[in-house]
């Protein structure tokens, strides 16, 4: 007789209450808070944070309107700025919000659909928004202040190939499109290569890369955003829109800001509960719980033996009794 098998994955949360009265899993289940039940309250609680985001967005909009610093460019300096002007570029500006904002938000929504944790969803979106806007403000501020010409500045300035310089000081006198010329003074640093650091942090926490179990394959998943960001950065150099120092500085800036913004809402991924938000951990502490998350490996067993074998939760409780631990029984409160 053919034996059928079935895969079962359990996520068990072992909770020890420190007071005399033990609260039920439903009363203490922070993970099951949804957008419908707690979304509006959570947004009101962080209203000042969202208002600051609007201020940052306004500042960045103003930085893109003002004229950047026009660095002095003589005929000798123009020699290194005669690379061809490629329009459209490999990664156009409209694609930046797609991979910098929409893609990470899709990942956040997939995790929310699985865990129904509105706190994780809210803090992830808020952290991503701060990362994007802070990086934009810093990047555009430096662009406007430095005014470094792009490698293709010559053909932005002189589309007909006829160079004109001021006879008094030798500075360049551009005859091209004003919009192209304005963008030509915004080479340093690159903004395209700074956007996927937050997603890498988020994935490392959720898939528990640093759980000390030696599953090196998880590292490959976390490195995918960095690989994509590196390819975008290389495309900016290949298209002659940036110097290599521009994309290097932009990448370092993205890594630093993404780390700060992620750690504002989440602990380091190598912590015991590195997948959770600070709000989740604080809630457990305020309710006098010691939370120990243990994900039981995927087990494969036969249907006819299922009644004779202990469930994963029973295995945990039995193992604790064998080790002489005095704690409340293990209860499953999330799948």
pTM: 0.75
DSSP state of 95: G
Residue 20 located in a structural domain: no
Work out the angle between the directed axes of helices 35-45 and 47-65 (0-180°, nearest 10): 70
pLDDT of 189 higher than 90: yes
H-type alpha helices, the chain: 25-28, 35-45, 47-65, 96-97, 103-115, 118-146, 153-157, 178-184, 197-206, 217-238, 244-265, 278-286, 312-322
3-state secondary structure of 333: coil
- Are 268 and 219 contained in the same domain? yes
- Are 217 and 134 contained in the same domain? yes
- Are 134 and 274 contained in the same domain? yes
- Are 207 and 324 contained in the same domain? no
Residue 193 near residue 250 (C-beta atoms within 8 A): yes
Answer yes or no: 242 catalytic.
yes
Residue 112 located in a structural domain: yes
- Are 271 and 307 contained in the same domain? no
Residue 11 located in a structural domain: no
pLDDT band at 203 (very low <50, low <70, confident <90, very high): very high
pLDDT digits (tens, 9 = 90+) for 254-273: 999 999 999 999 999 988 88
**Of residues 157 and 280, more confidently modeled:** 157
Residue 324 located in a structural domain: yes
pLDDT of 292 higher than 60: no
- The residue segments making up the domain with residue 56 are 35-68+91-148+188-278
Residue 252 located in a structural domain: yes
Rounded to whole angstroms, the Cα distance separating 261 from 108 reads: 16
Neighbouring residues of 132: CB distance < 8 A, sequence distance ≥ 6: 100, 101, 195
Q: Which of 33, 122, 123, 242 is catalytic?
A: 242
**What's the pLDDT at 210?**
87
pLDDT band at 200 (very low <50, low <70, confident <90, very high): very high
Average pLDDT over residues 58-80: 93
- Are 266 and 310 contained in the same domain? no
Rounded to whole angstroms, the Cα distance separating 30 from 51 reads: 26
Burial tier of 300 (Cβ tally within 10 Å: 0-12, 13-18, 19+):
exposed
- Are 317 and 252 contained in the same domain? no
Structure token pair of residue 266: 């989440």
Residue 46 near residue 131 (C-beta atoms within 8 A): no
Work out the angle between the directed axes of helices 197-206 and 103-115 (0-180°, nearest 10): 20
Residue 156 located in a structural domain: no
- Per-state percent for the chain, helix, strand, coil, to nearest 5: 55, 10, 35
The domain total for the chain is 2
- Are 272 and 300 contained in the same domain? no
- Are 210 and 136 contained in the same domain? yes
- Are 204 and 104 contained in the same domain? yes
Residue 45 located in a structural domain: yes
Residue 77 located in a structural domain: no
- Are 231 and 133 contained in the same domain? yes
- Are 113 and 248 contained in the same domain? yes
pLDDT digits (tens, 9 = 90+) for 116-129: 888 899 999 999 99
Q: Which of 192, 215, 243, 278 is catalytic?
A: 192
């Amino acid at each position: 007789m053919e034996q059928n098998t079935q895969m079962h994955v359990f996520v068990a949360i072992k909770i020890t209450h420190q007071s005399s009265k033990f609260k039920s899993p439903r009363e203490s289940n922070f993970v099951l808070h949804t957008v419908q039940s707690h979304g509006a309250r959570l947004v009101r609680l962080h209203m000042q944070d969202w208002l600051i985001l609007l201020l940052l967005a306004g500042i960045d909009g103003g930085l893109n309107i003002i004229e950047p610093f026009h660095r002095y460019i003589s005929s000798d300096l123009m020699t290194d700025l005669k690379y061809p002007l490629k329009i459209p570029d490999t990664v156009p500006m409209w694609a930046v919000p797609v991979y910098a904002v929409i893609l990470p938000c899709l990942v956040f929504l997939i995790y929310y659909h699985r865990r129904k944790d509105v706190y994780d969803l809210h803090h992830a979106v808020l952290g991503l928004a701060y990362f994007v806007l802070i990086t934009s403000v810093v990047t555009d501020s430096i662009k406007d202040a430095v005014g470094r010409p792009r490698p293709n500045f010559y053909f932005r300035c002189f589309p007909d190939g006829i160079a004109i310089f001021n006879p008094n000081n030798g500075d360049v006198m551009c005859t091209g499109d004003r919009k192209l010329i304005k963008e030509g003074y915004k080479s340093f640093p690159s903004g395209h290569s700074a956007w996927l650091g937050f997603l890498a942090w988020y994935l490392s926490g959720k898939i528990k890369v640093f759980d000390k179990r030696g599953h090196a394959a998880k590292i490959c998943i976390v490195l995918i955003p960095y690989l994509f960001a590196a390819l975008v950065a290389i495309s900016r150099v290949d298209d002659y829109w940036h110097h290599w120092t521009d994309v290097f500085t932009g990448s370092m800036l993205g890594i630093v800001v993404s780390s700060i913004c992620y750690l504002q809402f989440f602990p380091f991924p190598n912590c015991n509960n590195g997948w959770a938000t600070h709000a989740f951990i604080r809630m457990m502490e305020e309710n006098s719980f010691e939370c120990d998350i243990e994900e039981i490996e995927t087990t494969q067993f036969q249907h006819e033996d299922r009644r004779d074998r202990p469930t994963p939760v029973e295995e945990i409780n039995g193992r604790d009794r064998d080790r002489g631990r005095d704690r409340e029984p293990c209860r499953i409160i999330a799948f």
